[in-house]
Structure 1
Amino acid sequence: METVAAVVVTYNRLNDLKKCLDTLRQQTRKLDAFIVINNGSTDGTTEWLATQPDLQVTNQANLGGAGGFATGIDTAHKAGFTWLWCMDDDCLAAPDALEKLLASPNLGPCIKNSMSVSVKDHDELAFFVSRPNKEYRKVADMAPVDLVYGVASFFNGTLIHSEVVKAIGIPDKNLFIWGDEVEYMTRAQKLGFPVVTVPSSVFYHPPSFDRDGIPWPAAWKQYYAVRNQRRVLQNQHGKTIGRVLFATWAAKATMQQALAKRANRLYNFLLYGEAALDSLTNNFRKRPDTILTLKLYKWRHKTV
Structure 2
Amino acid sequence: MIKRCALVVTYNRPKLLVRCLDALVNQSLKLDAIIIIDNGSGIETKIKLKETNYIDKNVNDYNDKYESEIDSIRNNINIHYLSFKYNKGPGFAFYRGVQLFESLNYNWLWMMDDDGFPDKGCLFNLDIHSKKADFLNPVVLDEKKTDKLAFGLYDKKKLVEIKTKDDAIKSAENGLIHGVANPFNGTYVSRRLVNEIGFPQHEMYGWGVEVEYENRAKKSGFNVVTVAEAYHFHPESRVRQVSILNGKYRLNLQTNSFKNYIDIRNRNYIWYRYYGLSMNIKYFMAYFYYFVSKNKFRSIVLYIEAAIDGVCAKWNKEKRFDG
| TM-score for both structures, normalised by structure 1 | 0.86
Q: Could you tell me the percent identity over the aligned residues?
A: 32
CA contact (8 A) 2:122 2:232 kept: yes
CA contact (8 A) 2:254 2:260 kept: no
Could you tell me which amino acid in structure 2 is paired with residue 77 of structure 1?
E
CA distance in 2: counterparts of 1:131 and 1:95, whole angstroms: 26
> Paired residue for 2:131, among 103, 106, 113?
106
Could you tell me which amino acid in structure 1 is paired with residue 42 of structure 2?
T
> Paired residue for 1:259, among 247, 268, 292?
292
CA distance in 2: counterparts of 1:236 and 1:216, whole angstroms: 23
Higher helix share: 1
Runs (5+) with no aligned partner, structure 2: 56-72, 74-78, 243-251
Matching residue of 2:142: 118
Structure 1 residue 195, shift from structure 2 partner: 0.5
CA contact (8 A) 1:6 1:84 kept: yes
Matching residue of 2:45: 45
SS of the counterpart of 2:236?
coil
Structure 1 residue 92, shift from structure 2 partner: 1.4
> Paired residue for 2:265, among 202, 222, 227?
227
CA distance in 2: counterparts of 1:33 and 1:140, whole angstroms: 32
CA contact (8 A) 1:35 1:72 kept: yes
Change in Cα spacing, 1:216 to 1:158, as seen in structure 2 (3 Å) is closer
CA distance in 1: counterparts of 2:302 and 2:42, whole angstroms: 28
Matches within 5 A, 1:105-184: 106-107=131-132, 110-132=134-156, 133-144=159-170, 145=172, 146-184=175-213
More divergent stretch after superposition (141-150 vs 248-257): 248-257
Alignment length (residue pairs): 284
Could you tell me which amino acid in structure 2 is paired with residue 221 of structure 1?
K
Runs (5+) with no aligned partner, structure 1: 296-304
Matching residue of 1:81: 106
Matching residue of 2:248: none
Residues 41-89 of structure 1 show CA distances to partners (whole Å, capped at 9, x for unaligned) of 1261134345523321111232222111111011012102110000000
CA distance in 1: counterparts of 2:121 and 2:219, whole angstroms: 31
CA contact (8 A) 1:38 1:46 kept: no
Structure 1 residue 220, shift from structure 2 partner: 2.9
Two-structure CA RMSD over aligned residues (Å): 2.2
Could you tell me which amino acid in structure 2 is paired with residue 32 of structure 1?
D
Could you tell me which amino acid in structure 1 is paired with residue 54 of structure 2?
Q
CA contact (8 A) 1:86 1:159 kept: yes
Residues 74-128 of structure 1 show CA distances to partners (whole Å, capped at 9, x for unaligned) of 10121021100000001111111101111136215x1111110011211110112
Residues 2-44 of structure 1 show CA distances to partners (whole Å, capped at 9, x for unaligned) of 1110000011111111111111111111110010001111261
Matching residue of 2:218: 189
Change in Cα spacing, 1:236 to 1:283, as seen in structure 2 (3 Å) is closer
Q: Does residue 23 in structure 1 map to residue 23 in structure 2?
A: yes
Structure 1 residue 235, shift from structure 2 partner: 4.1
CA distance in 2: counterparts of 1:224 and 1:62, whole angstroms: 16
Structure 1 residue 137, shift from structure 2 partner: 1.2
CA distance in 2: counterparts of 1:227 and 1:76, whole angstroms: 28
| TM-score for both structures, normalised by structure 2 | 0.81
